[in-house]
Structure 1
Amino acid sequence: MVILIAGTDTEVGKTVLTTALTAYGQKYQPQRAVGMMKLMQAGVGDRELYTSLFSLDQSPQEIAPLYFDAPLAPPVAAAKEGRDIDLGVVWQALQSLQARKDWVIVEALGGLGTPVTQELTVADLAASWRLPTVLVVPVKLGAIAQSVANVALAKLSRIDLRGIVLNCTQPRSETEIAELTPTDLIQSLTNIPILGCLPYLEEPKDLDKLAQIASDLELERLMPVVMGNW
């Protein structure tokens, strides 16, 4: 099974959720093979973090099939290097991982509206490739509107959106979380379930802590087939 970790924007917590789910799988279900993948990467970041945290039976090309030096939107980064964006390379890497792994966690880039080519966005790719998706929303002012807008894009694109995961990008009290991201209101406006809230992590590389916060999510709704088998 594949799950795409998408977000409302950059720096909202996609990597935290991606690494937390991987840590959960490796700690609590070591008999199952978990694969990780970044759709495409621009600048140093996630691929390097994945390989520093986990022992992955994957080549660098399987982890990030397309890699650009400049930390820019892929079409812009590719143009700077005089390269084309070959989505076939990404698709082949994903198919290879699916054939070898029980569960593949794919981290998107930017938000659902982020361009991956001159014509396509992350939402377009998620829909075309039929990737079950979870949306990461940061706990901050404006989160309600961001949730509504991104869910509307997901529905317009006919994405299989499994749920929303809230993420604290800075320390937040329970009162702040309830006021900035009121669960009932967001669910009522979007008709999409909120699967939990990730706390702020001072040390986002603590694998035990990452596994623990993943276990607090409604994983059965996020990945029902996998959880049913596990």
Structure 2
Amino acid sequence: MTRFVITGTDTGIGKTVFSAALAGALTLPYWKPIQSGLEEETDTEAVARLAGVPVLPEGYRLVTPASPHLAAEIDGVTIDVQALTPPEGPLIVEGAGGALVPVTRTLLYADLFARWQIPVIVCARTGLGTINHSLMTIEALKSRNVPIHGIAFLGDAVEDSEAIVAALGGVRRLGRLPVVDPLTRENLAQAFADNFDPADFA
């Protein structure tokens, strides 16, 4: 049964686009435990548009565009972490921002991942600073015994950065998704097929 959690080294790096590409390539349903911010297209809506796969209702839909712990407080919502259990079956789960984003005042996404024990794919941008951010993310996950399936890079090719992160982090380098412009379902599927091997996700 194929199940992956997608996390990132930061917010706004293209994690949702990668989630859509992977879900589409593997024909897997998608689930976002917590959506913060509803004014623009949500991550779930983006994946439905870009991947054409079944999308499951979010565990929580918060109006305020902020870290889940703060968005919930502003919205007057109490997040029940026990209820944030991924649905059964094959699935792509996408976290919010980076692995150390707070879900509540006392729990981080990485702590949830440790509970779930679903293999995690780390998404990392290729720009300046990515080595530090990527290695810290990998270290934070490993310190909690979170299984890491590999790392996927997003953006223009930076061979040395990509290679050294995988080597020093001791994780599998899955590939790199370039900027897709225009971002359509067809173009995204082609970009993923050109840069990733489906066998790496078996």
Give the TM-score normalised by the residue count of structure 2: 0.89
Shift of 1:12: 1.2
Q: Measure how far apart 1:164 and its partner are.
A: 0.5
Mapped pair 1:187 → 2:166? yes
Determine the structure 1 residue equivalent to 2:105: 118
Where structure 2 has 5 or more consecutive residues not aligned to the other structure, the ranges are: none
Aligned to 1:212: 190
The amino acid that maps onto 1:156 is S
Distance 1:8 1:18 in 2: 14
**Whole-angstrom distance in 1 between the partners of 2:177 and 2:6:** 14
Q: Give yes or no for the alignment of 1:133 onto 2:120.
A: yes
1:42 paired to 2:36? yes
Amino acid at match of 1:7: G
Corresponding letter in the other structure for 2:10: D
Cα displacement (A) at 1:55: 4.8
Q: How does 1:27-176 map to 2 (within 5 A)?
A: 34-44=28-38, 45-53=42-50, 55-57=52-54, 62-91=56-85, 94-95=86-87, 98-99=88-89, 103-168=90-155, 172=156, 174=157
Please report the RMSD computed on the Cα atoms of aligned residues, expressed in angstroms: 1.8
Quote the Cα distance in structure 2 between the aligned partners of 1:57 and 1:167.
24
Match of 1:178 in 2: 159
Larger Rg: 1
The question of whether the paired residues in 2 share the 8 Å contact of 1:6 and 1:108 is answered with yes
Tell me the alpha carbon deviations over residues 113-155 of structure 1, each in whole angstroms, 9 at most, x when there is no partner: 1011111111110111111100000010011111111111011
Q: Deviations over 1:12-34 (max 9, x none)?
A: 121111110122134xxxxxxx2
Moved over 6 A (4+): none
Contact kept? 2:48, 2:54, Cα under 8 Å:
no
* Contact residue 195 and residue 219 of structure 1 kept, 8 A: no
Q: Secondary structure at the match of 1:63?
A: coil
Q: Is the 8 A contact 2:154 2:176 kept in 1?
A: yes
Distance in 1, matches of 2:192 and 2:77, equals 38
Stretches of structure 1 that go unaligned for 5 or more consecutive residues are 27-33, 225-230
> Distance in 1 between the 2:52 and 2:127 partners?
34
CA contact under 8 A between 2:100 and 2:108: conserved in structure 1? yes
CA–CA separation in structure 2 for the residues paired with 1:129 and 1:182: 27
Q: Distance in 1 between matches of 2:72 and 2:96?
A: 15
SS in 1 for 2:92: strand
SS in 2 for 1:113: coil
Distance in 1 of aligned mates of 2:189 and 2:3:
19
More helix by share: 1
Q: What SS does structure 2 have at the residue aligned with 1:117?
A: coil
Partner of 1:19: 20
Q: TM-score, normalised by structure 1?
A: 0.79
SS in structure 1 opposite 2:29? strand
State the 1:210 CA deviation.
1.8
Structure 1 Cα separation of the partners of residues 159 and 102 of structure 2: 32
Percent identical: 27
Higher relative contact order (CA 8 A, sep 6+): 1
Check whether the contact 2:49–2:185 (CA below 8 A) recurs between aligned residues.
no
